[in-house]
C-alpha cells in the first residue's frame, strides 16, 4: 500500500469542486481548488459565487508565496494599498499582520470603513501560527440585519454614522501596552480620514441589506453621543451573537477570503507572546449606497483615490 506524504509544497486537492459549510449562517471550506496554479474560469466563478453565498471561505494547504497571493486576489478585483500603512517589503500590496507581545486586532470591525469605497474583499494567508489560540472570528452583517425587529430595521435604515481611523484603541478594553499602541497609532493615523456611511447599505451584488458598523465607528449624525453608543451596542449585539459567527482555527498554509461588505471580523489575543504572522491583500471596493439611494461621503482626508469606486 502506498502512503501519500503531505508536505507544504505538495498539497493534495480533491478532483471536484465543493463548498463544505462550517456553520449555518456563515463560512464554508472550499475543496478542489489549488490556488498555487493558474485558475480556470470555472474555478474563479465558483470562488466568487461561494464568497457571495457564504461571506467567508477557507482553503487549506495552499502555502502561497507573495506573487501567488496577489494573483489570487485579482480573482476578486484590483488589489489596493492600505490608505496609511505601507506594503510589506518586496511586495506592492501586501499588508503584514505580525503580532508582537500577543497583540492582535481583538475588536469587531469591517476593514478600512474610514474611507468611502472601503475594500470589497480581503484575502488573508497564514504563515506562522501560535501553538494555541490566535484564531479569527467572522460575523454576518446581512443576517444580523435580518434578525432586527422591524422597528429597529426601520430606524437603522435612516441612520448615518461617521467612521474614522483616529479611533480610541481603548474603547473596548483597557490596555497597558501604551508605548506599543502609540507606535502603531503613529503609523495608522499618519493621514486622518473620516467618512459618513449609512448604517445600512445595499449589497451591490446580492441586494441584501447589511449593517456598516464596527470599531471605526465614531458617532451617529443627529444623535447625542451617549444614545449613539447605546444604539451601536444594540446593533452590534445582533452582529456578534454567537450563532451569527464562525471561528477559524488557523493552520500554516490556510487562506481565508471574506466579503468585507457583509462581514465583521475579530482576531483573538489569546496566544501569549508566541509569534503569529499572516499576510493580507485587499481589493478595491465600491462606495456604499443607502436604502434610499444615497452614497457614502468623505468628510476628512487627502484626495488620494481611496474615495473612488471601481
Q: What is the mean pLDDT of the chain?
A: 88
Catalytic annotation, pick one of 25, 43, 69, 111: 111
pTM: 0.88
**What does the pLDDT average to over 161-181?**
63
Q: Which residue has the cell 451617529?
A: 220
Catalytic annotation, pick one of 280, 284, 286, 306: 280
Residue 309 has pLDDT above 60, yes or no: no
- Sign, CA dihedral 294-230-233-225, equals positive
Catalytic annotation, pick one of 43, 82, 103, 109: 109
Residue 50 has pLDDT above 60, yes or no: yes
Asked if 31 is an active-site residue, the reply is no
Asked if 25 is an active-site residue, the reply is no
Q: What is residue 165's predicted lDDT score, i.e. its pLDDT? A: 87
Q: What is residue 2's predicted lDDT score, i.e. its pLDDT? A: 28
Asked if 109 is an active-site residue, the reply is yes
CATH of 18-300, one of 3.30.360.10, 3.40.225.10, 3.40.50.10330, 3.60.130.10: 3.60.130.10
Catalytic annotation, pick one of 201, 265, 276, 284: 265
Q: Per-residue pLDDT tens for 114-153?
A: 999 999 999 999 999 999 999 999 999 999 999 999 999 9
Q: What is residue 262's predicted lDDT score, i.e. its pLDDT? A: 98
The CB-based long-range contact list for 75-78 (8 Å cut-off, 24+ gap) reads: 75/39, 75/44, 75/47, 75/48, 76/47, 76/48, 76/51, 76/120, 76/121, 76/123, 76/257, 76/283, 77/120, 77/121, 77/283, 77/284, 77/285, 77/310, 78/283, 78/284, 78/310
Residue 234 has pLDDT above 70, yes or no: yes
**What does the pLDDT average to over 267-292?**
96
Residue 1 has pLDDT above 50, yes or no: no
Asked if 265 is an active-site residue, the reply is yes
CA 54 to each of CA 116, 141, 188, 244: distance values in angstroms, whole numbers, following the listed order = 24, 12, 30, 12
Give the integer Cα–Cα distance in Å for 95 and 89: 10
Amino acid at each position: 500500500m502506498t502512503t501519500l506524504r503531505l508536505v507544504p509544497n505538495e498539497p493534495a486537492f480533491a478532483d471536484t469542486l465543493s463548498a463544505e459549510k462550517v456553520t449555518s449562517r456563515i463560512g464554508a471550506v472550499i475543496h478542489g481548488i489549488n490556488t498555487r496554479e493558474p485558475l480556470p474560469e470555472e474555478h474563479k466563478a465558483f470562488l466568487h459565487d461561494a464568497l457571495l453565498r457564504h461571506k467567508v471561505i477557507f482553503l487549506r494547504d495552499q502555502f502561497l508565496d507573495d506573487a501567488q497571493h496577489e494573483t489570487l486576489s485579482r480573482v476578486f478585483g484590483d488589489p489596493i494599498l492600505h490608505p496609511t500603512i505601507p506594503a510589506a517589503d518586496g511586495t506592492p500590496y501586501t499588508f503584514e499582520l505580525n503580532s508582537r507581545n500577543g497583540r492582535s486586532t481583538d475588536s469587531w470591525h469591517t476593514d478600512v470603513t474610514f474611507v468611502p469605497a472601503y475594500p470589497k474583499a480581503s484575502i488573508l494567508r497564514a504563515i506562522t501560527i501560535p501553538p494555541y489560540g490566535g484564531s479569527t472570528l467572522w460575523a454576518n452583517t446581512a443576517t444580523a440585519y435580518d434578525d432586527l425587529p422591524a422597528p429597529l430595521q426601520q430606524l437603522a435604515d435612516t441612520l448615518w454614522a461617521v467612521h474614522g481611523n483616529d479611533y480610541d484603541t481603548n474603547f473596548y478594553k483597557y490596555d497597558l501596552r501604551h508605548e506599543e499602541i502609540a507606535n502603531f497609532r503613529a503609523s495608522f493615523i499618519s493621514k486622518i480620514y473620516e467618512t459618513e456611511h449609512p448604517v445600512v447599505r445595499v449589497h451591490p451584488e446580492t441586494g441584501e441589506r447589511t449593517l456598516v458598523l464596527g470599531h471605526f465607528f465614531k458617532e451617529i449624525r443627529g444623535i447625542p453621543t451617549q444614545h449613539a453608543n447605546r444604539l451601536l451596542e444594540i446593533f452590534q449585539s445582533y452582529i456578534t451573537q454567537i450563532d451569527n459567527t464562525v471561528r477559524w482555527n488557523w493552520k500554516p498554509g490556510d487562506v481565508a477570503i471574506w466579503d468585507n461588505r457583509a462581514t465583521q471580523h475579530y482576531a483573538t489575543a489569546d496566544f501569549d507572546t508566541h509569534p503569529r504572522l499572516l499576510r493580507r491583500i485587499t481589493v478595491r471596493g465600491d462606495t456604499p449606497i443607502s436604502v434610499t439611494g444615497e452614497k457614502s461621503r468623505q468628510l476628512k482626508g487627502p484626495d488620494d483615490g481611496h474615495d473612488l469606486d471601481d
